[in-house]
Amino acid sequence: MSFLSRVMRFLFWLLVLSWSVALLRRAVAWMLRGATPLRGATPPQGADVTCNSEAAGPPRRLVRDPVCGVHVAEALSIPLREGAETLHFCSVPCRDEYASGAKKMAANG
């Protein structure tokens, strides 16, 4: 057998081995992540059956800054209570600009 054929065979098996390792790593990561059971499958005896969405917390809501029009997460926004309405701003300068009376509004919406 020539040297070139041995090198090609080595490279082929190296490629097969690397793909196998990558596939095995994905399978193990999937199992450790807590894969959801298939439809119709019964959970193991004594398993805690809870919805994952509750563990993740409440869904995040985006609000729009009335001055510059930027969308920002409600939890990260800077609120300003005006009467019965709460407005959310992306930054303190935007809040101050709105509060000072210069209501330079972004696009209608």
* Residue range 58-69, pLDDT digits in tens: 678 889 998 888
Determine the pLDDT at residue 25.
93
Residue 103's alpha-carbon distances to 65, 95, 99, in angstroms, are: 12, 10, 8
Determine the pLDDT at residue 99.
84
Rounded CA-CA distance 48/64 in Å is 39
Determine the pLDDT at residue 82.
84
Q: Is the pTM of this model over 0.85?
A: no
For the chain, residues with pLDDT lower than 50 are 53, 102-109
Determine the pLDDT at residue 108.
47
Beta-bridged to residue 81, according to DSSP, are 86
Determine the pLDDT at residue 29.
87
